[in-house]
Structure 1
């Protein structure tokens, strides 16, 4: 997965904000929506995972451009195994599964992931073509974002690209102070030709960020409770 910002962009700035407390127990608990179950990838997902990454229509619309042009089981097995070790790549990968009438796991229909370690967290997702146009991607992203915003939080200080400090409507956020205090956000992006993916992000609470990037449109979703003072997060963290 390519970084959100390119190497030719302006230098980063250090900001003070919030981030979730990433406890293993939280990730292990499946996210349940009306039609879907979202949980970490497992080795038993190989058949569905291979079906997803063997569809050129899917990887052609992914800005990563497809992991392997041959789309074979061996290469996809190796890719799945790498994705079972998320922290080595600073990513976390989830399976998107259909939910049966009795609430059990059904078909593997796609993948949802989180990228860390390159500024703000970033969401990405892929869906098998036979499930396109059914609202599954929007349901998955909405379900995951509710889970993400409901996680406990702590104060955090790290570097971000200066253009990412925008409030609602694209207005630059008040970033006075040293380091500046800004609202936490999640990023997302979609290819300019992929209008469906852009609609998924917009329907899921993201807004477009006006920024020049070849072939990509970038989005952000700002933490809905980010007006809470950072000092409150420190107090809560210290009392855990």
Structure 2
């Protein structure tokens, strides 16, 4: 398993991003102090119905367990999960990150529903993807001819997320059923960035 993560073209971890700044947002590594903001987001059914979990966190301890996965990462769970902060308020409004490398790098994100529809997801993910493809990679010299992929998935009924992923350059490549829901698999080729 460890050898797979060291393939040419794979990002080298640990890699610490200080912050990414856009016109309206700051993306920075998650920290323990973010728990209350994420608990608010993760107790909203309209957010959680689109996640793999599909249900809200029952209590703050459950949210803490979730955030701890990103604060204390291992080789299969890279430390590249960022809180999204709205500049004007200083509040955390979501997260974006690659939450696993095995068997492939997979992107995930969530945003507070009060911030849906104003372009924050597009802005945050565009900046995140730019940084993702700039990460140092194993065997960089050998990787120049290797196409690296980043994967994501979305519920078939989540048209907004599907359109966002396609706007960012992701292409649909598979459909599968998970817990009775039809899921669209998407992938993004590194050469697009």
Task: Give the TM-score taking structure 2 as reference length.
Answer: 0.81
Would the aligned equivalents of 2:31 and 2:71 in 1 still touch at CA under 8 Å?
Answer: yes
Pick from 162, 165, 171 the counterpart of residue 207 of structure 1: 171
Q: CA deviation at 1:23?
A: 4.8
* Count of residues in Structure 1 that have an aligned counterpart in Structure 2: 179
Consecutive unaligned residues of structure 2, counting only runs of 5 or more, are none
How big is the alpha-carbon RMSD for the aligned residues of Structure 1 and Structure 2?
2.5
Would the aligned equivalents of 2:38 and 2:94 in 1 still touch at CA under 8 Å?
Answer: yes
Would the aligned equivalents of 1:115 and 1:122 in 2 still touch at CA under 8 Å?
Answer: yes
The answer for the alignment partner of 1:169 in structure 2 is none
Closer, same or farther: CA 57–35 of 1 in aligned 2, 3 Å: same
Q: CA deviation at 1:206?
A: 1.2
The answer for the alignment partner of 2:60 in structure 1 is 73
Runs of 4+ in 1 over 4 A off after TM superposition: none
Q: Secondary structure at the match of 2:13?
A: coil
The answer for the alignment partner of 1:187 in structure 2 is 151
The answer for the alignment partner of 2:21 in structure 1 is 32
Listed one character per residue, the Cα deviations across residues 64-102 of structure 1 (whole Å, up to 9, x for unaligned) are: 31363x2x22322333234311227624422111123xx
Would the aligned equivalents of 1:91 and 1:113 in 2 still touch at CA under 8 Å?
Answer: no
Which one has a bigger Cα radius of gyration?
Answer: 1
Would the aligned equivalents of 1:63 and 1:191 in 2 still touch at CA under 8 Å?
Answer: no
Would the aligned equivalents of 1:111 and 1:126 in 2 still touch at CA under 8 Å?
Answer: yes
Listed one character per residue, the Cα deviations across residues 141-180 of structure 1 (whole Å, up to 9, x for unaligned) are: 1110000112233339xxxxxxxxxxxxxxxxxxxxxxxx
Consecutive unaligned residues of structure 1, counting only runs of 5 or more, are 1-12, 157-180, 227-240
Pick from 104, 108, 111 the counterpart of residue 95 of structure 2: 111
Pick from 38, 48, 51 the counterpart of residue 40 of structure 2: 51
Closer, same or farther: CA 212–80 of 1 in aligned 2, 3 Å: closer
2 CA distance for matches of 1:155 and 1:67? 41
1 CA distance for matches of 2:69 and 2:148? 29
Q: CA deviation at 1:33?
A: 1.2
2 CA distance for matches of 1:152 and 1:221? 18
Q: Secondary structure at the match of 2:176?
A: coil
Instruction: For 1:70-219, list aligned pairs within 5 A.
Output: 70=58, 72-87=59-74, 90-92=77-79, 93-100=81-88, 106-155=90-139, 182-209=146-173, 211-214=174-177, 215-219=182-186
